[in-house]
Chain A
Amino acid sequence: MIQLENVSKVYRTKTIETTALNEINLTISEGEFVSIMGPSGCGKSTLLNVIGLLDEPTEGKITVAGESVQNYNSKATSKFRNQKLGFIFQSFHLIPDLSVIDNVELPLLYRNVSAKERKELSAAALESVGLKNRMDHFPSQLSGGQKQRVAIARAIVGNPAILLADEPTGNLDSHMGNEVMDILLKLNQEQNTTIVMVTHDENMAKRTNRLLRLYDGSQVA
């Protein structure tokens, strides 16, 4: 499903050169639930961004869902992201001007889905994260955990083949965190969604199929 060959990412600024990813080789098969762990700044988010086509690697080859996405033009990339990928960002990234339900329906907005259907699907996604009663709130009216769950609803509403989650439970207490984990596991098992999740929590990592460890941009396990 996801294949990285010798992928490196180097950030160059005037004063310093940071190797965020160093020759990563990685294969994730369809339906796998992989977790990534490692100390802060070791390149976890960078790895996820590169897989999700949000950032370009400095070197190396990426294949996602059997397609050499690196060669896509920007329109094809957009379509690919829209159809195949779902994101949960480390810092939510909800759009403050939009209500909860409008935030959730965002991926559907860029597909040919009728307004009615968008609304139904979004409501269902919100229900699955237990926030159906907050549909018309705005992000600023939500707690951190609630924002996190809205972000999850938005990531799963389009039923993507691949879900990339950057610390989806990072802002939640263990009870809520487990519930989110349950949602993800259910998605993985029932929809066969491939999930790559960054986490700092060993307990969460234990519940996934495989654990990758990064250290200073290199894969150590």
Chain B
Amino acid sequence: MRGVLALYQSTIGKKVVMAVTGLMLVGFILGHMAGNLKIYQGAEKYDAYAAGLRELGKPLLGHYQAIWLARLGLLAAVGLHIWSALSLTSASRKARGTGYKKFDDVSMSYASRTMRWGGVILLAFIVYHLLHLTVGTVHREFEYGAVYQNVVLAFQRWPVSVVYIVANLALAMHLYHGIWSMTQTLSLTNNTILRVRRPLAAGIALVVLAGNISIPLSVMLGVISL
């Protein structure tokens, strides 16, 4: 633990924290997407899957216990990720000082240049998404436990679908640079990884994008309905 704190003092340590928490979030995103694809199996299976998540860990853990543990873990990961991002961003702003009159940033990728604002968009989306499909406060026809119905009715309103699609485009960009960046920060750079890290980052980003946006698209196209 002392080592972790000593490492966190340095800018590199804060990046390591971003990379490790980012990796946890990538794991969550993949699991979340895979789970949501069960919507294609119909209302019964999908609602049962959602109900099952709340009973995870039985009989060792009780109703909702496992899910709250996971939520705490995710909250900690997001919190540390953002805290480090803020601290590093403010240090970097100060480090440039007077900016350039002409600055040519074509050598950088669009994804790498938009990590900070992209992250802010994701945070805003996460807050909205939780209020929308978890808590239900911003969902007009929300019904606790009727997960399939909540999703379908939500995406039948096109502005809601657009918000989800845009947020997932932002997520795909963030993942594309983030996953690549993580191999660099955590020094996962043996020859094989060096060769596959670009396509791997692009692949994960695309899979997540395709899996997630397929759901609002399917609802709007009538492939999924009540």
- Do A and B truly interact? no
Q: Which residues of A contact B (CB under 8 A)?
A: none
Q: Which residues of B contact A (CB under 8 A)?
A: none
